[in-house]
Amino acid sequence: MSTSVELNEIKKKLETLESMIRLLLERGIPEDEPLPDEIEAIESEDELISLEEARKSLED
């Protein structure tokens, strides 16, 4: 898979995550349980990083 395709996939996932977080914040929904994406990341043992950290790495 080419780097640009991988970056586009990462950007798409970040946009989805950002919109999920925005929805939680706008509606004041308490996060009692992990979100589905968080559960998937934990189960796959992916490293969780902050959205800001991900944006910075994409800008570099």
Which of 6 and 32 is assigned the larger pLDDT?
6
34 φ/ψ sector (left φ>0, alpha ψ -120 to 50, else beta): beta
Closest CA to 38 of 26, 50, 25: 50
Q: pTM, whole model, 2 decimals?
A: 0.44
pLDDT of residue 36: 66
pLDDT at 51 over 80: no
Binned at pLDDT 50, 70 and 90, residue 2 comes out as confident
d(CA 11, CA 1): 15
Please state, in angstroms and rounded to a whole number, the distance separating the CA atoms of residues 60 and 45. Answer: 25
pLDDT digits (tens, 9 = 90+) for 12-30: 899 988 888 888 788 887 7
pLDDT of residue 53: 78
- Nearest alpha carbon to residue 22 among 47, 46, 48, 51: 51
